[in-house]
Structures are given as structure tokens and as C-alpha cells.
Amino acid sequence: MTTLYEIVRNLLVIIIIASFLELIMPDGRLRPFVRFAVGLFILIAILSPSLDLLFADRSFALGFWDYQLDAGIERSVHDKGEEINNMIYQPQQDVIQSKLQGQINALSILVPGVNDVQSKVQTNPDGSVKKITLQIDTGSPSRIEEVAGVNVFSDQPQQIDADGKDAIADKIVQMISNLYEIPQEKVEIDFGGG
């Protein structure tokens, strides 16, 4: 009697779950596979108690449901996965940093008064920008072109005062912040060479 009760109880639970799945499942190619899986569960729900009744001296318990991975093996697999992830991610991260530094250099050199720029981008492990440091040279241009005896740049470069440097820094920080959506406090500017 208990075997019959167990079969009926399991079938009712499976039918309720199957009905719920039928309601939420869209019409499509997946529906036959779900019906097949539900059919297998119904067979198991009927056969498992029946086999226990017919072969009381044998155990048909399946241990796959209770499989536990050893903690040492789990940690080893996790560490190996992290190592592979770093091997894949780090070269890409270096390329991204290099390209971003080049773009920031090219963008900053367009600001009037800036002669040379060297940028350094630091990123967090997740790839987000931690800090951008710019070394800006406002000194004289590195070359003076002569065209028919006329110097394009004056022989005496004009020195940029503190207000001019602040204006240059504000322009560069604003451009980087707007273009890359990086908070302004993450951009650090240092003037050197002039």
C-alpha cells in the first residue's frame, strides 16, 4: 500500500510541475524535448518504487544526485580556471591600455599650448580605469620651420603662466571625461619641461 501511495504522490508532483511548464513554455521546437523529459520522470517515478517492491534485497539507488566534489579538487579547478582567465585577459588588457594611452596622447596634443604629452593609464582587475596620469610639456616646439626666411614659430617661445596651465589642464580633463566617461578626479595632470 505504501508503494502505491508513493507512486501516486510522485506522479501528482510531476504532473503539477509538467502542467506549470506547459503554461510558461512558448510554442516551439523545445516543447517536445520537455515532454520527453517529463515522460522520463514519470517512468522513473513509477519504476523506482516498483523495483524496490519487487527486488527488496537489492538497492537501485542512484548516487549521481548526491555527488559531492572534494574541496581540494574544487579549489584546484577554480585556481586553474583563474590562471587560464588571466592568460586570456591580460594580453587584451595590455593592448587596450596601450591604445587608450595613444588616443589620450593624440587628443591632448590638440589643445593649444601643449607641445608633448605622455600618458599612463592604470586599470583595475575588472578592466575599469583606475587612474590616468598625463605628463604635459608646454615648452617650445621641437622644430622650427623656415619658409622663405620666415620662422613659423618665434625664436623666443612664450612661457605659459599658472593660469594658462590651469586652463590647459581643465580642457584636457574635460575632453577625457566627456569622451571616455571617466570621472574627472581620476585624471591627474603634471606639467613639466616648460
Angle between helices 71-109 and 162-180 (to 10 degrees): 130
Residues 170 and 106 in one domain: yes
Mind listing the pLDDT tens digit for each residue in 153-164?
554 455 677 778
**Residue 73 is assigned to a structural domain of this protein:** no
The verdict on 60 and 98 lying in the same domain is: no
Q: How far is CA 96 from CA 40, 99, 100, 102, 193, in A?
A: 50, 5, 6, 10, 28
Tell me if 76 is assigned to some domain: no
Q: What is the pLDDT of residues 178-192, one digit of tens each?
A: 988 889 899 999 887
110 and 160 housed in the same domain: yes
Last residue of a domain, one of 16, 47, 66: 66
Same domain, 44 and 123: no
Degrees to nearest 5, angle at CA 61 with 55 and 64: 155
pTM: 0.49
Please name the amino acid found at residue 81.
G
